[in-house]
């Protein structure tokens, strides 16, 4: 077993967490005797938006390796211990004519209801030029499988299911400027400056603090923008990062971006709620 996995597994065990990870980075997606292991295979494919290789290993010894991308099965790259894989293996890209063969392979892998593990890896070939493949939703429909998890591991059925999309396009900002945002925070924002874009630079607060912020931005503005891009749903999106020892007392550093304007400031005390309220004021 990978030595790096040992402390993680020990931690999971101590936490009584239900996740199971095995040697080689394999993750158990269906326990032995699971009523519908094919559903678990399709759900694993359905989770994959980025191009990846998924190798499904049965505890009975057989395996299937699929290149998947954007909830589509692009191709079958390997098959062990399963008859009838030739047609799919020979296809550069799986198409509608392959769906029955692929389903049979999945059913053969899952037939004796063994434990099934998945190992993730890079795709065997660049899938960027491929825009087709077999949609997992099509395979699920043919097998009458619900791709949303059900059963004891599913989210609380009474709870509202919330899409995981971080910043859905239906959310809009009011169009207020970053200056308005700074003013709305109020006295908790004890020192700040705004720069970038076509608007005028602005600053307020004790000069020694503002000068320090100014010097930081002079050297690190590009890196700050990169950091905001990395934590945003998309580069250039509106974002506000507040960093502090506790956020609810002491001081925190505030960095916000609206369009191409950047605000850097210092928040005093329990000003995080004021920042949040001011941010909500930006939402249309």
Partner 1 sequence: MAVADSLAAVVKAFPQARLVAFADLSARMILSSAGPMVTTQEHLDRLCDQARTSFDDPMFSLSVQAFGEPHAALLLGPANLRLFLRSEEEPADAMCCICDHAIDLAAFVTKIRETLESITHGG
Beta carbon nearer to partner 1, 50 or 128: 50
| 15 scored as a contact of partner 1 (CB under 8 A) | yes
Distance CA 223, CA 219 (A): 9
Min. distance of Cβ 130 from partner 1 in angstroms?
Answer: 19
CA distances from 131 to 21, 45, 59, 86, 135 (A): 32, 16, 33, 23, 11
CA distances from 45 to 100, 125, 169 (A): 17, 17, 25
Distance CA 35, CA 41 (A): 13
List 14, 61, 151, 218, residue binding partner 1 (CB under 8 A): 14
Distance CA 206, CA 275 (A): 20
Distance CA 284, CA 174 (A): 4
Distance CA 145, CA 15 (A): 32
List 90, 233, 235, 260, residue binding partner 1 (CB under 8 A): 233
Residue 96 is given by DSSP the state G
| 231 scored as a contact of partner 1 (CB under 8 A) | yes
Part of the chain binding partner 1 (CB under 8 A), chosen from 95-103, 121-129, 164-172, 193-201? 164-172
Part of the chain binding partner 1 (CB under 8 A), chosen from 31-39, 94-102, 130-138, 247-255? 247-255
| 184 scored as a contact of partner 1 (CB under 8 A) | no
Site string for partner 1, 19-38 (x = CB under 8 A): x-------------------
16 is written with which tokens?
A: 């009584």
Distance CA 56, CA 118 (A): 5
List 8, 132, 138, 201, residue binding partner 1 (CB under 8 A): 8
List 92, 97, 129, 156, residue binding partner 1 (CB under 8 A): 156
CB 38 within 8 A of CB 64: no
Contact positions with partner 1 (CB under 8 A) in 71-100: none
Contacts with partner 1, residue ranges (CB under 8 A): 4, 8, 11-12, 14-19, 46-50, 148, 155-156, 159-168, 171-173, 212, 216, 220, 223-224, 227, 230-233, 237-248, 250-253, 255-256, 266, 270, 272-273, 275-276, 279-280, 283
């Amino acid at each position: 077993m990978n030595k790096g996995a040992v402390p993680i597994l020990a931690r999971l065990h101590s936490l009584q967490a239900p996740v199971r990870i095995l040697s080689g980075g394999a993750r158990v997606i269906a326990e032995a005797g699971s009523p519908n292991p094919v559903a678990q295979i399709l759900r694993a494919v359905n989770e994959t938006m980025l191009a990846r290789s998924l190798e499904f290993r049965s505890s009975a010894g057989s395996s299937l390796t699929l290149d998947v991308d954007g909830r589509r099965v692009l191709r079958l790259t390997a098959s062990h211990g399963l008859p009838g894989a030739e047609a799919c293996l020979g296809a550069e890209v799986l198409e509608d004519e392959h769906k029955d063969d692929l389903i049979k392979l999945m059913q053969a892998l899952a037939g004796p209801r063994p434990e099934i593990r998945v190992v993730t890896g890079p795709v065997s070939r660049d899938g960027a030029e491929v825009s087709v493949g077999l949609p997992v939703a099509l395979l699920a429909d043919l097998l009458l499988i619900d791709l949303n998890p059900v059963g004891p591991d599913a989210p609380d059925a009474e709870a509202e299911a919330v899409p995981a999309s971080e910043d859905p396009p239906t959310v809009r900002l009011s169009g207020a400027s970053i200056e308005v945002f700074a003013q709305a925070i109020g006295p908790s924002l004890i020192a700040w400056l705004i720069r970038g874009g076509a608007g005028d630079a602005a600053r307020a607060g004790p000069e020694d603090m503002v000068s320090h912020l100014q010097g930081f931005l002079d050297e690190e503005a590009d890196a700050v923008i990169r950091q905001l891009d990395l934590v945003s749903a998309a580069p250039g999106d509106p974002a506000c990062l507040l960093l502090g020892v506790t956020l609810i007392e002491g001081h925190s550093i505030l960095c916000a971006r609206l369009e191409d304007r950047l605000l850097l400031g210092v928040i005093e005390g329990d000003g995080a709620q004021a920042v949040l309220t001011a941010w909500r004021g930006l939402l249309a």
